[in-house]
Copies of this chain bind each other. A is one copy, B any other.
């Protein structure tokens, strides 16, 4: 059978988050495989209450683990490496990454008790990693974290470029600039680029992207204009931004205090791996609290409104001895990710109530995106001249728009959402299979399936409340005429002002007194009848049908 090149996203295609892309080469069903990135998304109250992390369900990959040769990590963002610690044990193959990224991967693995020695640090192109039929090179691209890399994946069927996350930034402040000349050469080598698997995040942003370096002056001006304590928040991994903010602070006669574990970790890893040089000395929170307010800048985690991060803590009052006051200034050097508006708004309003001046980046002065905008994506298409474009890193809307953009320029393109297997061997991509995919939820210390029903039950309890009914059946199969009812998350009173639980108990007792023996002996029948009565009574009294859990205690003879 002829060999083929396949592409299979397990996460990140049809959503923004939890990236995981499989490439394969070989005879159908026997392709050797590599995995690019293994990231997480974050839970939210709306769709996944109580869940901390969401990650791709790797069942398909686990079933084909003998064919998997390696994992490549493009960069250090959580949505590209966050699941490694939790899922590595299911894959157990070598991991390849550049130095800074690799250091973050090692921390993730160690966190979950894996050996960091499985991580191979590789240099940028021209260094090559040979894995099965794949020859892989890491090509530096600019992004909002140092050392982001696109991958060149050379296969017998041709060259694939997997962009990872990128923007066209010639002056990214920290890390590698985007190098169009180098990419021009990459596109000209051999038969050129067959496949471009391309970041689609900002396909709807109509204007060319702006450079990280453009922020230095506005941020400096802003710091200089502030009279009291200054706080800035941004993604901890945006080390270039941390540098720009810190340098503005120093220029303004301030000392910098890093607040939040992620902030300190990122700066430490940046310094250790050498991607960050000459970062200003920082001070601890005690020293920051002791200095005059106009001599301090706090750099705080939590730009997305995360409840436990430093920004949220500061907005709630004293944090590590620090307390914001009337006349202090707080800068969100960040964009609020859709869905986080309420959480961020809550913090901004709490700060406003303290009299703190709140500044956001809506006017574009204090934040630039890390992703290529529509004209940048078009420029990349033109620079790389791929035969086929496969959009990734986007919701369905983004992938669709990106496909239309490519096709309008005469480039073959196809939407492939999670689970879609594309055969990329021919001149146009062909959908050849659809494999089962899904999501895993990290709940406490347990990984559960998104469709297991655990989260569905939580959402139902949150929407409908929960009524618990206990009834007792004695050793002779006689049901006791009492029912015990407890309500949680439900109004406690009937329309006439009686206790709702007691009222339901009364209605259930009536039923139990008359219940036929064949019902009493049958758990399922009892459960159904009790549930129906409870829901019906609640509906009459409070206009709402709660979730009902029935416990039937069957007593054994002594």
Report A's interface with B, CB cutoff 8 A.
14, 44-47, 49-50, 204, 206, 338-339, 341-343, 345, 348-349, 352-353, 358, 362-363, 395-397, 400, 443-446, 448, 452, 454-455, 457-459, 461-466, 468, 470, 472, 480, 482, 484, 486, 488-493, 539, 542-544, 547, 549, 551-553, 555
Contacts and interface: CB of A to CB of B under 8 A. Distances in A.
Nearest to A547: B488
A141 B111 CA distance: 61
A362 B468 CA distance: 48
A352 B396 contact: yes
Nearest to A342: B339
Given A457-B489, A466-B488, A482 B444 contact: no
Contact of A465 (B458, B492, B553, B555): B458
A542 B443 contact: yes
Contacts of A444: 491, 539, 542-544
B349 A486 contact: no
A491 B50 CA distance: 12
Contact of A397 (B44, B352, B470, B542): B352
Contacts of A397: 345, 348-349, 352, 358
Q: Which of A343, A348, A443, A461 has the most CB of B within 10 A?
A: A461
Nearest to A556: B482
Contacts of A46: 44-46, 342-343
A551 B549 contact: no
* Nearest 10 Cβ contacts at the A-B interface: A445-B543, A444-B543, A444-B544, A462-B462, A49-B462, A458-B489, A338-B341, A457-B489, A461-B461, A50-B463
Contact of A472 (B341, B448, B463, B472): B472
B466 A461 contact: yes
Contacts of A363: 206
Contacts of A396: 349, 352-353
Nearest to A397: B352
A345 B14 CA distance: 12
Per DSSP, chain A at the interface is: mixed
Given A341-B338, A349-B395, A396-B352, A461 B443 contact: no
A462 B551 contact: no
A486 B551 contact: yes
A463 B400 contact: no
Kindly report how many copies of this chain are found in the complex they form together. 2
A345 B45 CA distance: 16
Contacts of A446: 491, 493, 542-544
A551 B458 contact: no
A230 B46 CA distance: 30
Given A396-B349, A443-B542, A462-B462, A553 B45 contact: no
A3 to B, nearest CB: 32
Contacts of A549: 468, 486, 488
A206 to B, nearest CB: 8
B553 A484 contact: yes
Contacts of A462: 45, 49-50, 458-459, 461-462
A176 B553 CA distance: 68
A186 to B, nearest CB: 32
Contacts of A338: 341-342, 345
Q: Name the residue among A462, A543, A547, A549 with the largest chain B CB count within 10 angstroms.
A: A462
B348 A491 contact: no
Contacts of A466: 461, 466, 488
Contacts of A490: 454
A482 B459 CA distance: 30
Contacts of A464: 50
A484 B353 CA distance: 49
Contacts of A358: 397
A482 B358 CA distance: 58
Nearest to A51: B463
A472 B400 contact: no
Nearest to A463: B50
Nearest to A362: B204
Given A444-B543, A542-B446, A454 B491 contact: yes
B50 A470 contact: no
Contacts of A457: 465, 488-489
Nearest to A468: B468
A128 to B, nearest CB: 38
A552 B551 CA distance: 12
Contact of A352 (B400, B463, B542, B553): B400
Contacts of A482: 553
A454 B465 contact: yes
A424 to B, nearest CB: 22
Contacts of A461: 458, 461-462, 466, 488-489
Nearest to A455: B489
A555 B484 CA distance: 11
A442 to B, nearest CB: 9
